[in-house]
Amino acid sequence: MKKRNRAIRLVAAAAMTVASVAPVTAVPGPAQAAVPDVAKSYAGLMYRSLTADATMAQLRTTLATQQADLKRRNTDAAKAQRASVAAQKRLATATTAHAAVFEKLKSAERALTDAKNALARQSKQKPRNNAAIARAKRAVTAATTVRDTRRTRLHQAAAELRAAKKVAGTTTTAVINALAAAGKTEAAIEQTEKRIATAGTAAGYAAQAAAISASVVDQVRPVFTVADTTTVYGITVHKNVAFAFKRLIDDAKADGIALSGGGFRTKERQIELRTINGCPDVWTAPASSCRVPTAIPGRSLHEIGLAVDVTSGGKTLTRKSKAFTWMTAHAAEYGFVNLPSEAWHWSITGG
């Protein structure tokens, strides 16, 4: 199979919505309520197998996006931290400046009190010294001016201190938020890495499906109804193998192998075939005793939609056909196994 085509198809599979898989694995309606859980598990495993590579590709894409996201968030956090450090510095400066201006105001207030006391003392002096009183008054006026200037400067320093506190608070919050966002992304990366590390492989899921395929046959047969089937490119198969079988046909086609065939047939048709194919009798003679090997009615996997007689270009498969070579190389990836005595007969157990 060409690798490139396969990759494209896998991506397409990943893009498939749950809805498009629904006919195969969805909660059954009343008509198919009897489909055993093992058959659904089988379908689920085959679905996971056939989408494992696409799932992995998607996980890797997610991881790359998350890593880029983390890089950006770490840059944001570093920037926020630098802004916070600058804001703390500004706050320290503003606090110191405010304290210094406050002390200067206190000192100006003390000087004004002293000047006022001096004026009061001078005013009580006898005899009255007008020149000294005038000097004392000027001293009071000058001290008042200094006090007023420093009071204004204290208001300005207080405003700067309030602004610096506000920015310090905002930048601290920004750092907390940036670190939280980075932490959240780190946790998401850990989750994705865990999913990548524990993701099953296509071969692994297919092997699990193969391991329960005999149970699927045993449990499906007694409860099977025609309602449990669906058609894939005109071939009727059990719904729980439909997704894998469609992928098999599609992938073969992409490799230049046109496949078709006959899947489900009724027990009545099986009885007819026993006669048509020259079996010694309908009910007991072994399949191999017929002119064309034909299973005893009630034993064929065709009767439950779990086997397909494969054709290519309108011809039944032979061991020499290209289609047989392709099937031998790839059918197991889709859960189909050949019955060695019949090159055309492929089923989930090889039976």
Binding site for Zn ion (CB under 5 A): 309, 345
Q: How many CB atoms lie within 10 A of CB 94?
A: 21
The CA angle 250-252-253, to the nearest 5 degrees, is 65
User: Which has the closest alpha carbon to 331: 300, 310, 301?
Assistant: 310
Amino acid at 61: T
Tokens of 26: 């969805």
C-beta separation of 312 from 258 below 8 A? yes
315's enclosing H/E stretch is strand 315-316
Torsion of CA 177, 182, 187, 191, to 10 degrees: 130
Cβ of residue 262: shortest distance to Zn ion, in angstroms? 8
Cβ of residue 13: shortest distance to Zn ion, in angstroms? 28
By CB atoms closer than 10 A (0-12, 13-18, 19+), residue 222 is: exposed
Measured from the CB atom, is 32 or 338 closer to Zn ion?
338
Cβ of residue 214: shortest distance to Zn ion, in angstroms? 17
Measured from the CB atom, is 182 or 290 closer to Zn ion?
290
Tokens of 94: 């503003």
Measured from the CB atom, is 228 or 309 closer to Zn ion?
309
Measured from the CB atom, is 160 or 309 closer to Zn ion?
309
Instruction: Spell out the residues 6+ positions from residue 223 whose beta carbon is closer than 8 angstroms to its own.
Output: 34, 35, 36
Measured from the CB atom, is 257 or 301 closer to Zn ion?
301
Measured from the CB atom, is 53 or 309 closer to Zn ion?
309
Cβ of residue 70: shortest distance to Zn ion, in angstroms? 55
Cβ of residue 27: shortest distance to Zn ion, in angstroms? 31
Measured from the CB atom, is 32 or 300 closer to Zn ion?
300
Task: Provide the H-helix boundaries in the chain.
Answer: 3-15, 18-25, 37-124, 130-198, 202-220, 239-254, 267-276, 322-330
Cβ of residue 265: shortest distance to Zn ion, in angstroms? 9
Torsion of CA 287, 310, 46, 232, to 10 degrees: -120
Cβ of residue 253: shortest distance to Zn ion, in angstroms? 21
Q: Taking CB positions, which residue lies at the least distance from Zn ion?
A: 345
Interatomic CA distance for residues 199 and 139, integer angstroms: 89
Instruction: Spell out the residues 6+ positions from residue 258 whose beta carbon is closer than 8 angstroms to its own.
Output: 252, 312, 313, 323
Measured from the CB atom, is 17 or 341 closer to Zn ion?
341
C-beta separation of 338 from 345 below 8 A? yes
Measured from the CB atom, is 239 or 345 closer to Zn ion?
345
Interatomic CA distance for residues 237 and 346, integer angstroms: 12
Cβ of residue 290: shortest distance to Zn ion, in angstroms? 12
Cβ of residue 279: shortest distance to Zn ion, in angstroms? 14
Interatomic CA distance for residues 303 and 349, integer angstroms: 14
